[in-house]
Amino acid sequence: MDYAKTTNKLERLAFGETYHIYNKAISHEKLFIISDDYSYFLKKLNRYILPIANIIAYCLVPNHFHLLVTIKDEENIPESLLKKNKENPNQLISKSFSNFFNSYTRSFNIVHHRAGRLFLYPFKRILVDNDGYFVCLINYIHRNPVHHGLTTNYSDWKYSSYNAYISEKSTHINRKKGLSLFSSLEEFILFHKENQSVPGIEKYYFE
């Protein structure tokens, strides 16, 4: 089954489109060493990315991360941000991600007494233009810690969006969008339990 029509991992980010975005640390470095690193990364994510995108799913593991986001339509982005990029509005999207990664790197370097690059670049992104890929990707992102042997139960991993879906607490995750292709929250939960892997989607995975 063809889950995505494109596999361009350097896809141009565009208003209104959904993307699988991911990156990893350079060499044998880690992106997250202590629990505060994970929390700080999410704070930076909310600061730099929430104004320009809806966050549908995420997972952070020690040396890499996965995001599933829908870039907002241009009219839903704060006017103050658009004014700063009025000559090239599309540049705002990539610039927001660049500012996000750079800000986290600076903070991480101060805390852990290091210098230089932290992330591989350019960061990878795949256009999600297929419902099947969208559904399976949410499952893959949430099951990523199990895939890497970090836990035996994805619901026990603190640093993914899975528990935001099954909780009634307020969240920055766009639950409505994430659940839109499931008939109910119960189906969402069952899909995660029953689908440890999906044949054909492996070519879109990131190690």
Q: List b or e across 27-54, with b for residues whose CB sees 16 or more CB atoms inside 10 angstroms.
A: eebbbbeeeebbebbbebbeebbeebbb
In a domain, 137, yes or no: yes
In a domain, 51, yes or no: yes
Nearest to 175 by CA among 57, 66, 19, 72: 57
In a domain, 7, yes or no: no
| Higher per-residue confidence, 199 vs 31 | 31
Assess whether pLDDT exceeds 90 at residue 195. no
In a domain, 44, yes or no: yes
Distance CA 70, CA 72 (A): 6
Task: Count each helix (H run) and each strand (E run) in the chain, helices first.
Answer: 7, 4
| Higher per-residue confidence, 206 vs 146 | 146
Mean pLDDT of 106-120: 96
Confidence band, pLDDT 50/70/90 cuts, at residue 5: very low
In a domain, 4, yes or no: no
User: Number of folded domains in the chain?
Assistant: 1
C-alpha separations of 174 from 68, 89, 161 in Å? 10, 24, 10
Mean pLDDT of 130-158: 94
In a domain, 13, yes or no: no
Which CATH number characterizes residue 187's domain? 3.30.70.1290
C-alpha separations of 163 from 33, 59, 118, 189 in Å? 22, 11, 28, 10
Residue 129 is part of which domain span?
A: 18-204
Assess whether pLDDT exceeds 80 at residue 7. no
Confidence band, pLDDT 50/70/90 cuts, at residue 2: very low
Distance CA 6, CA 46 (A): 28
Distance CA 50, CA 67 (A): 12
The pTM (predicted TM-score) of the whole model is 0.90
In a domain, 52, yes or no: yes
Mean pLDDT of 138-164: 95
Distance CA 72, CA 68 (A): 13
**Tokens 């991993």 identify what position?**
157
